[in-house]
Amino acid sequence: MKVGYLLNILLCLLVATSLAEDDLSFEDGDGTQILPIELTDETFEHLTQAATGATTGDWFVKFYAPWCGHCQKLAPTWDELAVRLDKKINIAKINVDDSPNTAERFNIRGFPTLLFFKRGKVYKYTDHDRSVEALAAFTEGGYTSSEEQGEVPKELTTLGYANKVFWKFYNEVIFGFDTVFHMFEMGHLPWYVKFWIVFIVLFSPAIVLALCICACESRYLAKKEAEVMEGIQKSKEETKKPPSNRKKQKID
């Protein structure tokens, strides 16, 4: 009797586990697998329409890097969130290594960064609690208390992206040189003066090298030209000699 009782309990537990796994299945009613939508630089604005007010619905996007440990830890939770909010919120992810333009557009500096897009506005998830319940609650109204929110920045053109990258590089370099500027009481100088100082310091070795190469090349070309002219001159002198002398030389 006891053995039969234990077998019944074990059978019930197996059935319950099976049903629970079915409830958490990453598939919808027709058997289609439910996973976060993978976005790229090319598809981000087209699918989300974030800057235009999002006629495709609300989007919760994870900006991640494949090498990021915290991103890898969040991955199963993000997959489960896609199942929980299926047909309510678009759950998506974007690899910043493969999509640098979009990462730069939203000024992504840490991973993972979670942004919620709703009606032309963006809300950043900053809570340390990254459970499915907390993330779902954020999309259901918690986003209104987000400390970081604002209008969705416009999509970057190629020129705009290049300009932003340049100024990012410039600001980082200038920041590194700021200590030197203040040491020599030059912190008050305008940005363009600092720019040329940094430019000269960074690129003067390359400029000197280029000038040396140009000078060597000029000397080499001048030497070759002199050799050619000397050959032409000798040829002319040979042709001016009397025919008898040329024959005599051949006989000798």
Looking at the annotation, which residues are catalytic? 68, 71
**DSSP state for residue 73 in the 8-state scheme:** H
Token duo for residue 181: 């500027």
The separation between CA 22 and the C-alpha centre of its own chain, rounded to angstroms, equals 38
Long-range Cβ contact pairs of 24-27 (< 8 A, separation 24 or more): 24/80, 24/83, 25/83, 26/79, 26/82, 26/83
Distance separating the N- and C-terminal Cα atoms of the chain: 133
Sorted by sequence, the CB contacts under 8 Å of residue 45 that are 6+ apart come out as: 51, 155
- Whole-Å CA distances, 110 to 146, 159, 207: 17, 24, 37
Long-range Cβ contact pairs of 159-162 (< 8 A, separation 24 or more): 161/101, 161/104, 161/105
